[in-house]
Structure 1
Amino acid sequence: MEQNWFFPPHDGIRLDMLADQIGATLEDQTVADRVVRSVSPVYRAKQDDICYMLSRKNRSELETCQAAAIVCDKAIAAIVPPHIPVLLTQHAHTAFAVAGSLLYPQAMRPVQNLSGPPGISPAAFVDPSARIEDGVQIEATAVIGAGAQIGAGTWIAAGAVIGPGVRIGRDCTIAAGASVLCALIGDEVIIHPGARIGQDGFGNAPGPKGGMIKIVQIGRVILQDRVEIGANTTIDRGAMDDTVVGEGTKIDNMVQLGHNVRVGRHCGIAAQVGIAGSTRIGDGVLIGGAAAINGHITIGDRAQIAAMSGVAADVPAGERYGGIPARPMRDFLRDMAEIAARAHSRQKKAGGNDE
């Protein structure tokens, strides 16, 4: 890949210092003063790059690797060529993620569009009753509503809309074009471009003449500390209770959370997931892309939902579910194997009849 001017290389971190910061062991101390400036895939890593490997099935990529070091566990270290230093760890994926954050801190949040002096742009629209702490950055065309409160170190990007009475904590990032209404936002929250937080939820009652009558939505959205919300994700405010996303939870792009949904702490929700209203998601839950979650059900702590599943009923804590309707993964895989076997049998019979 040609030089990426959007994210230029780091000035350099010594390999031994990097090892200490990511919790890895440098096997060859003779290269302790080697300097790392960037991250790279294994197959095209150069002498100032660091990379990582999780599986032996990618060993062919080592043939073209010239990395400053490879982050891996003992099993992978055995196949690494002797000219490539090893940073040994039992948690290679996590260690590499930390290394990336050290080498590219500017890539950990949406890119700022700031072109003027720091502070509040004269082209922003800030209501006089808003309370803005020192050190807040508000870019041109952002709108801050009456009575809003924004904590120190927070950055509000161009075109973002912060509604009346919204409270945003410290060191948050509200990216370009996002809207935040009827919401309480904790510290170190990241909201990516185009996200919609706090609009009214979907609720209707049957009308007297066959139509529908909208049900009032007077709750809030609460995003706890260190939550991250992906681009174009929508989180509806509660009807009469609150919609809540727990501390440390990461939500991907184009996810829909309905009114009164409560998501626990440190969950991961992949793109295009839809969660219907009043569902309860426990702590540490992982939900794969494009899964559909029914309303008024509970998914227990540390459960995992496979991509493109349809979850119609409660999922017990710690279980892995998949399929439509979602069921325990062992049952889903058995069903898929039986379907494949029947299909193969039909094809075989059809081929025999042709003969």
Structure 2
Amino acid sequence: MGKGRRDKVLLNTEQRRKLEEISRNGYASAKKILHAQVLLMCDEGEGATKKWTDEQISLALNLHRNTVGRIRKRFLEQGEQPALNRSQRKNPPVPAKIDGHTEAQIIALCCSDPPTGRAHWSLRLLTQEIKNRNIITEISVETVKKHIKKNELRPWKIQRFCIPERDLARFISQMEVVLDLYSQLHSELSPLICMDEASIQLTGHVFEPIPLEPGHDAKVDYHYTREGVQALFMFFDPNRGWRRVSNRDHRTRVDWAIEVRRLLDEDYPHAHKVKLVCDNLNTHNIASLYEAFPAPEAHRLARKLEIYYTPRNGSWLNVAEIELSVLSQQCLDRRISSVEELSTELAAWQQERNSTTSKVIWHFTTDDARVKLKHLYPIFEPQETGDSNASF
């Protein structure tokens, strides 16, 4: 006979019919269907159409040749059902090493602080500590992993919260003030201005870059020189599509006050009241005007200024951040080595953006926030659909 053939399987008509039914009905387990196919291919009775060797069967069904031999042997020695089903354990199952009490100890250890010198528990460190504390003397990393996963513990992962529970009321109160402001109408005599600050590090080339050529990308050396840091002040009118960005050596109270005076006296000299949206830095304050200018001048500027602060952890509410992002992508994504070059590039970018009057249309309203951010509201009462006059 062929290679690997030891004993003959001779199926009668009824056995062949049952095995063919199992192999094609789709309701049996995958293992049972596979064993039925092996027996059909091992058959050398009168109904067999082809004689298969163990090697051929193993290649056709992607099995090891020894597995084919064991299935045939079980059929010849024990019959059809034992050959189709999984073999029963001869020995009783090994009892689990980890009971409820031990698992509780592992959970407590996982939730505790890691050893000194380690930032967090790893699976290997946790396994070794379990052994050191004699919780279990012999345990594998995979076993620890299984029980850690079962209890949904990930000691190496930390989720950071943005807004603490105690600050929720403060956050939503300041957020709704800004959202209401965006939904109002604004005029030239009472414009809405959003301002934000950023910083840029000036860097120069150690080696001159190689310019772009057909078939060759531009090349810039990794090394660079540090040429100082500049503070950027962005003032943006989202309704008019106007912006002004300037750079200064510092971002102190005096610097902010000087930029605000320029906004009030040069950019919007005819405005009765400028509504300024900014983040809650200690420099963004009326007191900065009194620190930079004499009291009469500071008082004059303060009367023309109405400041609205975005909440802490809510800088996304400031439209000026969008414009700073555009500036970073379109203009600052390269090496700029001097203050003069930076000023020139900022002026060119600002002129081009203002010529197109690129605006920002804010759609997110207070009503939207009460639906989409309802998890931030300490007390949330949804509208009743049956009352058209119901309100939050």
Instruction: Please give the TM-score of this superposition, normalised by the length of structure 2.
Output: 0.21
When you count helix as a share of all residues, which structure comes out higher? 2
Instruction: Please give the TM-score of this superposition, normalised by the length of structure 1.
Output: 0.22
When you count strand as a share of all residues, which structure comes out higher? 1
Give the structure, 1 or 2, with the largest relative contact order (CA under 8 Å, sep 6 or more): 2
